[in-house]
């Protein structure tokens, strides 16, 4: 059983809980392609079997979220599960002000991860240190906010949609938006709408697999090449495929191909992700992930 599963994670479950549930049912190696906080809901893409080799590339895809930002109250975790650390009056809000503030967060930028995160620091998770009452310096990370749009202004809260690069902490974004609005805030709810080409309206409900057999899982699986369907593809001849699968790079005949990640096929079967590099009048293809 090899492929990807688009699961609608319910709030209250950890991503690991979902992985365990599917792993027991499928009886194959299973992992996820990017965690969702327990309180959050939405798209959780699982990788089964050979798909686990490709999981990191799916994890690096663009994400889309719907977010509720609660204004006037700050918490230590930056979300609704934390302890209140500060309160502040919320200034009057209007769409013009909010649009101007949201616009200032669009584009490439640096973001400091929150202490309550799974990132490592000297052998420990940051959230472990935070629970011990410790705070350490965290280097800022490069992120990109592709779009950020107001959906609704409520009393003491704002709902917005965001499209962003992998590695973006929406909780931190909420805190930063609140600060720019002249108050404090925290993320009160989060729904992940999309991971790459996996959308929430196509997600499978986890409960649907509880009583069903493996056949139901197999029917819900997306093929190994599905997350990369928008990328270019190359078909290798038999001799090239042997060399390529053994780790060697091969020359691609024909027009020059832009450098980047491509799908690689042999005899019509998806065998790998590769990377092309063009120089002078040649294009070379090197393996990134060979599925075997």
Q: Express each pLDDT in 110-140 by its tens digit.
A: 999 998 888 888 888 888 998 988 889 899 9
Q: What is the pLDDT of residue 256?
A: 60
List, by residue range, all CATH 2.30.130.10 domains of the chain: 231-290
CATH 3.30.2350.10 correct for 3-61+197-224: yes
Tell me if 167 sits within 8 A of 117, measured CB to CB. Answer: no
Cross-strand bridge partners of residue 7: 44, 204
pLDDT at 249 over 70: yes
Q: Which of 17, 37, 79, 149 is catalytic?
A: 37
Q: Express each pLDDT in 31-69 by its tens digit.
A: 999 889 899 999 999 999 999 999 999 999 999 999 999
| Residue 38 phi, psi (nearest 5) | -55, -40
List, by residue range, all CATH 3.30.2350.10 domains of the chain: 3-61+197-224, 69-187
Structural fold of domain 69-187: Pseudouridine synthase (3.30.2350)
- Reference 168, options 75, 61, 81; nearest CA is 61
Tell me if 108 sits within 8 A of 143, measured CB to CB. Answer: yes
Q: Give the predicted TM-score (pTM) of the model.
A: 0.91
37 is catalytic: yes
DSSP element (H, E) containing 44: strand 41-48
Q: Express each pLDDT in 143-167 by its tens digit.
A: 999 999 999 999 999 999 999 999 9
Burial (Cβ within 10 Å: 0-12, 13-18, ≥19) of residue 136: exposed
For the segment(s) 231-290, the CATH number from 1.20.58.100, 3.90.1150.10, 1.20.200.10, 2.30.130.10 is 2.30.130.10
């Amino acid at each position: 059983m090899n492929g990807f599963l688009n699961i609608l994670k319910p709030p209250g479950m950890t991503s690991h809980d979902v992985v365990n549930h599917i792993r027991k049912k499928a009886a194959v190696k299973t992992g996820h392609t990017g965690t969702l906080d327990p309180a959050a809901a939405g798209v959780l893409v699982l990788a089964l079997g050979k798909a686990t080799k490709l999981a990191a590339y799916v994890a690096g895809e663009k994400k889309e979220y719907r977010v509720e930002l609660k204004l006037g109250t700050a918490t230590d975790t930056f979300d609704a599960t934390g302890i209140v650390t500060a309160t502040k009056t919320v200034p009057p809000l209007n769409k013009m002000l909010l649009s101007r503030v949201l616009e200032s967060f669009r584009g490439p930028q640096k973001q400091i991860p929150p202490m309550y995160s799974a990132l490592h620091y000297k052998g420990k998770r940051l959230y472990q240190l935070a629970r011990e009452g410790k705070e350490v310096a965290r280097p800022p990370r490069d992120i990109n906010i592709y779009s950020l749009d107001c959906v609704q202004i409520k009393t003491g809260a704002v709902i917005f949609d965001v499209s962003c690069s992998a590695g973006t902490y929406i909780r931190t974004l909420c805190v930063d938006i609140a600060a720019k609005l002249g108050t404090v805030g925290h993320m009160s709810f989060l729904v992940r709408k999309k991971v790459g080409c996996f959308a929430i309206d196509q997600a499978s409900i986890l409960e649907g697999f509880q009583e069903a057999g493996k056949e139901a899982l197999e029917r819900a699986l997306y093929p190994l090449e599905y997350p990369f369907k928008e990328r270019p593809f190359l078909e290798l001849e038999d001799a090239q495929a042997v060399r390529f699968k053994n780790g060697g790079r091969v020359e691609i005949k024909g027009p020059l191909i832009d450098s980047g990640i491509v799908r690689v096929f042999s005899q019509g079967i998806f065998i790998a992700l590769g990377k092309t590099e063009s120089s002078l009048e040649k294009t070379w293809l090197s393996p990134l992930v060979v599925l075997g």
